[in-house]
Amino acid sequence: MELRIDRVTKNYGSKIACDRLSITFGKGVYGLLGANGAGKTTLMRMMCGILNPTSGTISYDGVDVSCEEYRDVLGYLPQDFGYYPEFTAQDFMMYIAALKGIPKSKAKVKTEELLEMVSLKNEAKKKIKTFSGGMKQRLGIAQAMLNDPKILVLDEPTAGLDPKERVRFRNIISRMGADRIILLSTHIVSDIEHIANTILVMKNGQLIHEGSLEEIIAVIRGKVWECTVPQKISDELTVKYPIINTRNVGDEVFLRLVCDEKPCDDAVNADATLEDLYLYYFSEEENDKS
């Protein structure tokens, strides 16, 4: 079971969305982390055969992404998806099952099983129109699993889920990751921190880190500092170092920042987290957006 992405590049005109990416996936859960526009969705769409790479190949055990056999073992949850307005949850599942080539009797059993898994069993006969965002998202997750996929690609699967649903989702994914390849993208670090065996960090179309949580965090271990300083010093530090977090404490300012050496006398070393790493890489972009 091996999904191989080999020197894949995707250009939109002069803009490079993915830049010579090479990744090999084996069984397990992979978390794809990156800011908006880092190329996560483009990569995932190429992995699902929706977009053609400008160059490079994607294959699963030697089967190219464009083949029917590849799609036969693929499940995909797009970032955003529509539905036909007359559909109930059950109709939706049965329709997708037909597209996946699943015979009707088998599809019925599978639909019931999956709707139960995502706690939509009682809503099976209700129109999707009446669903909340979280319910629709759960339905999207269920449809991706109809064909018992060996490759499961989920683009922002936790978007719209409430905290309780998130926990449930994480449990489902951990359980399913044992015998398939699961790739999920998110910009919410806590969603993948504990369920992904491998974390991939993407920036500007390139893969800048790949490894276990420990390995990834090692990059900034011992470089995360916290201090509470007067406004004036705070301003100086802000210019010099990447700031992860800041808040006002009375007259002074609390800072959490990344720095190779102690930035000021009363700074204390803090435990590095994935969140720190993420903000370290993406804070500028996030700030630009807001």
Partner 1 sequence: MEELTKTYDKIYRYCFYKVRNSAAAEDITQETFLKYFAQNPKIKRGEDMAYLYTITKNLCVDYFRKKQTEELHENYPAEEFSEMSDTKIAVRTAMEKLDERHREIILLRYIGGLSVSETAETVGISRFAEYRLEKAALNEMKKYLEGALWYEI
Partner 2 sequence: MRFNLKKELREAFTPPEPNGRDGFLAAIPYPKLTYREFVLSQICYIRKRIWFVSLLILLAGVGAVYIVPDSSMVLVWIISALIPLLAVLTAAEISRSDIFGMFEIEAVCRFALPQVIGARMIILGICNFAVIAAATAVLGIFSPLGIAKSALYILTPYVSVNGISLAIFGRVNGQDGVYLSVAAAFAVSLAGVILFGKELYDERMTNVLMMAVCVAGTVLMTVQIKKLLVGKDNYYGIKD
Residues forming the site for partner 2 (CB under 8 A): 12, 17, 37, 39, 41-42, 45, 48-52, 68, 71-72, 74, 76, 78, 80-86, 95-96, 98-104, 106, 140, 143, 147
* Chain CA centroid to CA 117, Å: 21
**Binding partner at 232 among partner 2, partner 1, none, C-beta below 5 to 8 Å by kind:** none
Question: Is 73 or 141 the residue whose CB approaches partner 1 more closely?
Answer: 73
Is 129 a binding residue for partner 1 by CB under 8 A? The answer is no
> Which range binds partner 1 by CB under 8 A, 98-106, 141-149, 268-276, 277-285?
98-106
Is 105 a binding residue for partner 1 by CB under 8 A? The answer is yes
**Phi, psi angle pair for 161, to nearest 5°:** -85, 140
SS3 content of the chain, % helix, strand, coil (to 5): 40, 30, 30
Q: How long a stretch of residues is the chain?
A: 290
Pattern of binders to partner 1 over 49-88, x per CB under 8 A?
Answer: -------------------xx-------------------
Question: Is 78 or 160 the residue whose CB approaches partner 2 more closely?
Answer: 78
Token pair in block for residue 288: 């630009």
**Cβ count within 10 A of residue 180:** 18
Residue linked to tokens 């400008």: 54
**Binding partner at 134 among partner 1, partner 2, none, C-beta below 5 to 8 Å by kind:** none
Task: Answer whether 228's CB lies under 8 Å from 255's CB.
Answer: yes
**Binding partner at 223 among partner 1, partner 2, none, C-beta below 5 to 8 Å by kind:** none
Token pair in block for residue 41: 């969705």
Task: Answer whether 191's CB lies under 8 Å from 221's CB.
Answer: no
**Cβ count within 10 A of residue 152:** 24
**Binding partner at 167 among partner 1, partner 2, none, C-beta below 5 to 8 Å by kind:** none
Question: Is 178 or 268 the residue whose CB approaches partner 2 more closely?
Answer: 178
Question: Is 69 or 235 the residue whose CB approaches partner 1 more closely?
Answer: 69
Question: Is 138 or 223 the residue whose CB approaches partner 2 more closely?
Answer: 138
Is 106 a binding residue for partner 1 by CB under 8 A? The answer is yes
Token pair in block for residue 129: 């129109």
- Show the 3-state SS of 102-151: CCHHHHHHHHHHHHHHCCCHHHCCCEHHHCCHHHHHHHHHHHHCCCCCCE
**Phi, psi angle pair for 268, to nearest 5°:** -120, 140
CA distances to 189, 246, 255, 259, 263 from 222, rounded to whole Å, are: 20, 19, 16, 9, 12
Question: Is 72 or 162 the residue whose CB approaches partner 2 more closely?
Answer: 72
**Binding partner at 268 among partner 1, partner 2, none, C-beta below 5 to 8 Å by kind:** none
Q: What is the C-alpha separation between 224 and 34, in angstroms, rounded?
A: 20
**Binding partner at 74 among partner 2, partner 1, none, C-beta below 5 to 8 Å by kind:** partner 2
Binding site for partner 1 (CB under 8 A): 68-69, 103, 105-106
